[in-house]
A = this chain, B = another copy of it.
Amino acid sequence: MKITIKEIAAISGVSTTTVSQILNNKGQRFSEETRKRVLKAVDEYDYNPDYFAKNMVHRESKTVGMIVPDVTDLFFSKVIEGVEAYFNKKDYMILLCNSRHSAEKEKDYIKQLQNRSVAGILLASPNSLKLESDLKGSPYILIDRGLNTRTEGNLLVKEYSGVYQAIQHLIDNGHTKIGMLTNESGYYEMSERFDAYYQCMKDNGIEYNPKFLADGPVTIEGGYIAAKELLKKQSITALCCGNDQMAIGSYRAAYELGLAIPTDLSIIGFDDLEISAFLNPPLTTVKQPAFDIGYTAAQYLLQEIEQPNKVVPNKTFETTFIERGSTITIDK
C-alpha cells in the first residue's frame, strides 16, 4: 500500500500543506524541528510523491540521456546494452537518441535533454570535442574512445596497439601487400587504426602505398563498396578493415570477385562482434569490449552525478588480437 501525503501529515502532526511546503522547500513558517520530523516520516514510511512532483524538489530525474550515432550499429547496440545494464540496477532510465551521424542532431539532442533536466548525458560521438561547451551544465561522459585530451573520465581503448599487433601478424606471415579500409573523410576518425597500420608497415621496412588505402562508411555496405573498388584495381594479399562490419562487406566483395578467403585474400577486422566468429571463414579480428565500455561509461556518469566533486578516473580498455580462419600464411 502506497502511503499518502495525508498519512505523512497525520504521522508528523502537521497539515498536508506543511508537508508539501517542506518537500518543495517553500514557506518559512515552520520550525527546523518540524521540518526534520516530516522528512523523517517521509523517509521511514518510504513516502513516494508523484514522480514528477519529486523531480520538482530534487531537480534530478533519475533519467540520463544517451546519444549514439546509429542505434542499429552492432558496436553501439552492444554499448547501449552495457549502459542499460548498469543504470537499470541503479533505477535510472535512459532517454535514447539516435543522431544518425549528424553533429547538428547531436547538438539538438543535447539541448532537448537539458530542457528535460536529465541527471546526465552520455555522448558517443567523434564530434565530442566540438560539443563539450554545449554539454557544460550537465554531468556528462563521452564515449569517444580517447579522441580527446581530458584529464578525467577518459575511456581509452588500446586501438593502436591492437591494430599494430594485427598488421605485425600479417607481416610475420609473409604479407607485404596489405590494404586498409578506413574512414578518414567521414564522421568517424579512425586515425589511430590507420596510424598503427602505417607505423607497423614502416617499422618493418615496407613502403606505404596510398593506393592500398580505401575509404568508406563504417557499415557493411560501406565496406563492400570500398573493398570492391580496391580489390578490382590493386593486387593485395591481405586487407585490414576499420571495423568488423566493413570486414563483412569485404567478404562479399572478395566473393563476387572470385577471391577465396583466406587463400587468395586474408582479412582482419576490428571490434569482434558476436557475428564475427560465425562468419565463413570466422573472422580474425581485434576485440574491444563494447559492453564493458558502455557499462563503465554509465558507472562514471553516475559518479559524476552523485559525487560531482570527486575526480572521475580514467580507464583503458585492452584490445585483444583474435586469430581465426580469415588469415593465412603465404610464401615470403
Chain A interface (Cβ < 8 Å from any Cβ of B): 48, 50-53, 55-56, 61, 63, 71-72, 74, 77-78, 80-81, 84-85, 88, 91, 93-98, 112-113, 115-117, 219-221, 224, 248-249, 251-252, 255, 274-275, 278-282
Contacts and interface: CB of A to CB of B under 8 A. Distances in A.
Contacts of A52: 52, 55-56, 61, 116-117
Nearest to A279: B252
Contact of A72 (B55, B77, B95, B224): B77
A95 B93 CA distance: 6
A220 to B, nearest CB: 5
Given A52-B117, A252-B278, A278-B251, A71 B63 contact: no
Contact of A50 (B117, B248, B280): B117
The 4 A-B residue pairs with the shortest CB-CB distance, nearest first, are A96-B96, A252-B278, A52-B55, A72-B77
Contacts of A112: 91, 93
A56 B20 CA distance: 14
Nearest to A55: B52
Contacts of A282: 252
A4 to B, nearest CB: 15
B116 A51 contact: yes
A229 B19 CA distance: 65
A96 B80 contact: yes
Contact of A275 (B48, B84, B220): B220
Nearest to A275: B220
A56 B249 CA distance: 50
Given A81-B71, A98-B84, A248 B275 contact: yes
Contacts of A71: 77, 80-81, 84
